[in-house]
Structure 1
Amino acid sequence: MNKWLTAFGAALALAAVDAGAANAGPTDAQIADIVVTANQVDIDAGKLAESRTQSKDVKSFAQRMVMDHSGVNQSAVDLVKKLHVTPESNDTSKSLQKGGDANLAALKKLSGAAFDKAYIDHEVTYHQAVLDALDQTLIPSAQNAELKALLVKVRPAFVAHREHARHLQASLGKTGS
């Protein structure tokens, strides 16, 4: 399972870099779709975790993921409407959705401590991959100043989410639950 998590986490950063290699980076419309898809993938995983976990800490984390990522998505949707940009599906957003669907399918087969560990392990890897994509591709490629500002503004939340997930990961490892 860990090998799959690492591969999935790396897919986000690699797909974003690959998308940029062909044409100096994704367009603003493609970035908008990547942002919305990346957040929706985490919202979906968070909702599953809210309904499955028995851990108070994991449930609280999952609720935070749903709330925060829903907020980022709303900001992104509001901005693209304001800018009259239609999000454009691309290989990166499709890869994210495919990986998110695979993650949900894998998580649905688990319960108890195994579920909690797999969910939190994935959250650590996923947030690191999102940060790598933001830093290496999305922020540098954004042409619109407001879109770039939104990406820069939400970055600290992804750092906080990754660190919170790492903390939970460590505590789950110690307790075995």
Structure 2
Amino acid sequence: MALAKSKNPEIHKFAKTMIRDHEAVNEQALALLEKLGVQAQDNFLSQKLNQDGDAIIERFSTLSGAEFDRAYAENELAYHKAVNALVGDVFIPNIENAEVKALFEEGLKIFKAHEAHAEMMVEALN
């Protein structure tokens, strides 16, 4: 959506980074699940993320220009802060499988960089 609605080069750069990095982590996770012989399970968290995503898309579809850019950057910052805290404080400490833990730790490094990038965008847009 950001690539279609925004004309801001920094928003485009961030959105392209999100697509690239999140697809890469998802591919690694799916490969690890296959290697371990397990399947991803639908759960409360995945359902909540999907519901929230639908609501955000609906809200953002009414925005344009600088208003969209600010809302997008602020949403990405809040989202990455929340997910990074959950992964770092709850998930990683409780993961017993070394390969799964390593995947989450590597993903957290990437997503913390996304959080920092989003924070810079928010500061620049406000």
Determine whether 1:156 maps to 2:106.
no
> Between the two proteins, what is the percent identity of the paired residues?
37
TM-score (norm 2): 0.96
- Residue 51 of structure 2, aligned match among 87, 92, 98: 98
Aligned counterparts of 1:76 and 1:155: Cα–Cα separation in 2: 13
Which residue of 2 is the match for residue 118 of structure 1? Answer: 71
Distance 1:90 1:170 in 2: 35
Q: Which residue of 2 aligns with 1:55?
A: 8
CA distance in 1, matches of 2:89, 2:112: 15
Runs of 5+ unmatched residues, structure 1: 1-47
| 1:104, distance to aligned residue in structure 2 (A) | 1.1
Q: Which residue of 2 aligns with 1:32?
A: none
Read off the aligned partner of 1:87 and give its amino acid letter: A
Asked if residue 166 in structure 1 is aligned to residue 116 in structure 2, the reply is no
Q: Deviations over 1:100-125 (max 9, x none)?
A: 11111111111111111110000000
State the partner residue of 1:136: 89
Q: Secondary structure at 1:54's aligned position in 2?
A: coil
The unaligned stretches of length 5 or more in structure 2 are: none
Cα distance in structure 2, aligned partners of 1:162 and 1:86: 29
1:65 aligns with 2:23: no
Which deviates more from structure 2 when the two are superposed, residues 60-69 or residues 137-146?
A: 137-146
